[in-house]
Homo-oligomer: A and B are copies of this chain.
Amino acid sequence: MHRMSERDLDLVRSPETPPAIPDLAAQVAALAARVQALDDVLAVHRVLVGYGLAVDAGDATATAALYADDCDVDIDGTVRFRGRQAVHDMVLGDAHQAILGECAHLMGPYTVEVDGDRAVAVGYASIYVREDDQIKPWRQAYGRFELERRDATWQITRRTSRALGSPHRSDVLGPAGS
């Protein structure tokens, strides 16, 4: 959370007193960092929503491109795979092909925290599938994504998904607290 600084307020109140150029340059640099942080948060949201769209399109190449080459995916602690090629294979695999065209992967909402070239998103994935002309909730899960900026692109390096009812929801949501 960032609030207007005293200096900002001074500028608004008395623009007739010009600041020194170095002060202004420092303000511009600080603003640039805040704009970068906003860009990054939106970019991470876009990657995760784009994942849903790519798998629903059945586009294995586009899906895989959202993951890092050495990504680590852990679904409920039972399905685990590593690497972009495994993501590609998953999209073309029998399980996904069986629901393709009948499924919606709604990714979100998420809270996103960015720290330099790393980001963590925690939130939800809701998958719906049409069966017998009815839309049914097919999977509802808590999800945690780690991402890194590589080659100027945010890539998913680690994904942890825990379905409702999983005894391991704290892997995503953290301990219950009190």
Q: How far is the CB of A131 from chain B (nearest CB, A)?
A: 10
The A142-173 residues at the B interface (CB cut-off 8 A) are 142, 149, 152-154, 164-167, 169-170, 173
| Residue pair A169, B101 in contact (C-beta under 8 Å) | yes
Residue pair A164, B177 in contact (C-beta under 8 Å): no
| Contact among B27, B109, B133 with A32 in the assembled complex (CB-CB below 8 Å) | B27
Q: Contact: B24 with A11, CB < 8 Å?
A: no
A83 at the interface (CB under 8 A from B): no
Contact of A142 with B1 in the complex, beta carbons under 8 Å:
no
CA of A33 to CA of B112 in the docked complex: distance in angstroms?
A: 22
**What number of copies of this chain does the assembly contain?**
3
| A79 interfacial by beta-carbon distance below 8 Å | no
Whether A120 is near chain B, meaning CB under 8 Å from some CB there, is: no
In the complex, A177 Cα to B56 Cα: how many Å?
Answer: 11
User: Within the complex, what minimum Cβ distance (angstroms) separates A61 from chain B?
Assistant: 5
Q: Verify A29–B1 contact, CB threshold 8 A.
A: no
CB pair A49–B111 under 8 Å, yes or no, is yes
